[in-house]
Amino acid sequence: MTTLQIGDKAPNFSGKDQDGNLHSLADYNGKKLVVFFYPKADTPGCTAEACDLRDNYDRFKAANYELLGVSADGAKAQSKFRNKYEFPFPLLADEDKSVIEAFGVWGPKKFMGREYDGIHRTTFIINEEGFIEEIISDVKTKAHAAQILK
């Protein structure tokens, strides 16, 4: 789906999280960044994915990773999702889809025979210098941390 490739410079994104705090690529210089895109807050697959990342958060921190979730949900929905499951990482409320489109994860999808536009569940691992190290498009929601921390 995405046109980004491993080795590309990550898009210079900027977006607000569930609390209105601004996050941009430059904020994560010197750290590895996991940017995970998910279709909708508080749905079964998205909850399983985010909870798996939460449950392995100490392992991510020990390996110098920061995590950032992104969906097109509003700040209120992201805040409710984050608080309900006690996520230790921010969730961008990308209602205008600027970050989603910068990473190229918005496009046609099929579900139960119906076609519609939506977010493709995709994770980007960005290295300390801001380059894409890995792209995971076949996300295993219940074992996503293991896919990243292999």
The set of residues, in sequence order, having a beta carbon less than 8 Å from that of 24 and lying 6+ positions away, is 12, 13, 14, 15
Give the SS3 label for residue 14.
Answer: strand
- The tokens for 53 are 């990342």
Report residue 133: phi and psi, to 5°: -95, -35
| Residues forming the active site | 46
